[in-house]
């Protein structure tokens, strides 16, 4: 199996949810995670706070916030196992934030060979 990272963006339509609606939505996330765990596909994942800094360029310029628009803010990530890129994309289609204008970026984790000792 290969490792893939899911980078979750947006889902800002949930910002106006009542506490009860948010609880119901979070149950969808927990159910999705449980399903992936049962199949041995879920490795790890965490939500991220919306605040952040960007460090850029040779002068290490620091700016507030990663993005100007809330739909572009990275809200969290998963690491998953899948047999192929195509399978990882199919798994990403189960993201509970997709109906809330969210998106999932799917990226294969590059395997870097260990240096050969001489």
pLDDT in tens, the chain (118 residues): 999 999 999 876 677 788 899 899 999 999 999 999 999 999 999 998 877 888 889 999 988 766 656 667 788 999 999 999 999 999 999 999 999 889 999 999 998 988 888 7
CA gap 109, 29 in Å, rounded: 23
Q: What domains does the chain contain, in order, with CATH numbers?
A: 2-108 (3.30.70.1060)
- Predicted confidence at residue 16, as pLDDT, reads 79
pLDDT in tens, 28-44: 999 999 999 999 999 99
- Residues contacting residue 4 through CB under 8 Å, at least 6 positions apart: 79, 80, 81, 82, 85, 88, 106, 107, 108, 109
Longest dimension (CA), the chain: 61
Residue 94 · residue 6 · CB < 8 Å: no
């Amino acid at each position: 199996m290969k490792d893939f990272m899911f980078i979750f963006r947006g889902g800002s339509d949930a910002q106006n949810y009542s506490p009860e609606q948010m609880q119901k939505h979070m149950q969808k996330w927990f159910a999705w995670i449980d399903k992936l765990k049962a199949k041995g596909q879920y490795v790890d994942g965490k939500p991220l706070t919306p605040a952040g800094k960007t460090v850029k360029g040779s002068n290490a310029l620091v700016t507030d916030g990663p993005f100007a628009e809330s739909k572009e803010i990275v809200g969290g990530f998963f690491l998953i196992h899948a047999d192929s890129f195509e399978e990882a994309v199919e798994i990403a289609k189960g993201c509970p934030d997709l109906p809330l204008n969210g998106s999932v970026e799917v990226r294969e984790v590059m395997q870097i060979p260990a240096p050969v000792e001489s």
